[in-house]
Amino acid sequence: MSKSPNGLYTVLGIAGIGVGIGVAVNSSNHQSDVIETAQATAQAAEDRAAAAQAAIADTQAAATDLINTLAAQPLSTGAPVAETAGFGLGRDALPVEIAAWDIDVRPDGAGLPAGSGDVWTGEEVFVEKCAMCHGDFGEAVGRWPVLAGGHNTLSDEDPVKTIGSYWPYLSTVYDYINRAMPFGMAQSLTNDEVYAITAYLLYVNDLVDDDFELSNENFLEVRLPNEPNFFMDDRATAEYPIFSVEPCMENCKDSVEITMHASVLDVTPEDENAAQEDATVVAAAAEPEVDLAAEGEALFRQCKSCHQVGDGAGNGVGPHLNGVVDRPIGSVDGFRYSNTLLDVGGEWSADVLGAFLADPRGAMPGTKMAFRGLRSQEEIDAIIAYLATFE
């Protein structure tokens, strides 16, 4: 019996038609599901958009109600805002708004918040948040303001105006720190941190001891040295009458002579010979000095905010350093030393002075000197060589 494939092909053909019909039905069902899903998603989006629009409308209505409510707030006198007053704009500030801005502190202590801070806490906060600009002990970095030293320099040609030498009131120190510092992070300090930083600045200006704690209770007890040199503005009565009269135009000089030259600025006209002399001086000053004492003089700039040397040197934040090499420790008259230096005894030999310059608080724990220490033995040797030139 022969085997014919025709019957098999017929069966397979019928089966294929059945499968195709099934696939077509399933495909149609899938498309319907996709369409229904897309329609549901679109409807949900429309519902969310409608809800968002309703929320916006509600917010606008609430804002309008709030504005109307605030505009109807009475003045401090109790009278409503007059529509014809001024430009008809704005309203009286609310008490809570005034309180947010009313942070100033007056010399009589008005505005001081409750709080306290001691010198050592202030040093920690100052080093962390202020020293990057003002140096570890207020000597300043680069062109940032010096905060310590400058005592007895206000009558000099180049006075150093600091908290200890120039500022009149401690309230100004507190207010400025609280309002504007640290730079770039204004009003980020707590009340206690502001008290502590203020206490530390008093300490580096040699106005308080290292165990001092400043608070709102003893704030008014602290007086800055230059307060008596400030007075109320009296120009309206003292100066205005003088400068209101007709100027004198008689007996004038026949010629004008230059009696003083501007320092540094190089703006005063000079004759040719004077210009050549100045050029010679500048050239001589530009010649490099290689001796150790000259290197020490350059390094000593970081010490000048607290210590003086040379003719007329006096005590400031730290004692004058004339003759300090081999001088008895704690022996400068009129300077208020810490108990550590008063009790340690001995002399400032090169070795003792070197150890102290390398790590002041490590060498003599309890010292008032807030300097971090010199970085190398070469710097220490140079500073000592420079100080040895002063008797």
Q: What is the pLDDT of residue 154?
A: 92
Q: What is the pLDDT of residue 45?
A: 65
Task: Go through 307-316 and write b for each residue having 16 or more CB atoms within 10 A of its CB, e for each that does not.
Answer: bbbeeeeebb
Burial of 119 (0-12, 13-18, 19+ CB in 10 A): buried
Residue ranges in 72-151 assigned as alpha helix (H):
95-101, 119-129, 131-134
Domains 103-229 and 292-387 are alike in CATH topology: yes
Residue ranges in the chain assigned as alpha helix (H):
6-71, 95-101, 119-129, 131-134, 170-180, 191-204, 235-238, 240-243, 272-286, 292-299, 339-344, 350-358, 360-363, 377-387
Q: What is the pLDDT of residue 220?
A: 97
292-387 topology per CATH: Cytochrome Bc1 Complex; Chain D, domain 2 (1.10.760)
Q: Which residues contact 328 (CB under 8 A, 6 or more apart)?
A: 346, 347, 348
Q: What is the pLDDT of residue 2?
A: 42
Q: What is the pLDDT of residue 316?
A: 76
Helices 119-129 and 191-204 pack at an angle, to 10 degrees, of 100
Residue ranges of the chain with pLDDT lower than 70? 1-35, 37-38, 41-42, 44-45, 49, 52, 55, 59, 62-63, 65-85, 261-290, 305, 370
Q: What is the CATH number of domain 103-229?
A: 1.10.760.10
Q: Which amino acid is at 265?
A: L
Q: Which amino acid is at 116?
A: S
Domain boundaries, the chain: 21-73, 103-229, 292-387
Task: For 2-26, give the DSSP string.
Answer: ---SHHHHHHHHHHHHHHHHHHHHH
The pTM (predicted TM-score) of the whole model is 0.48
Measured distance CA(10)–CA(13) in Å, rounded: 5
Residue in the structure block whose two tokens are 């004339």:
322
243-267 per-position pLDDT tens digit: 888 888 888 888 888 777 665 455 5
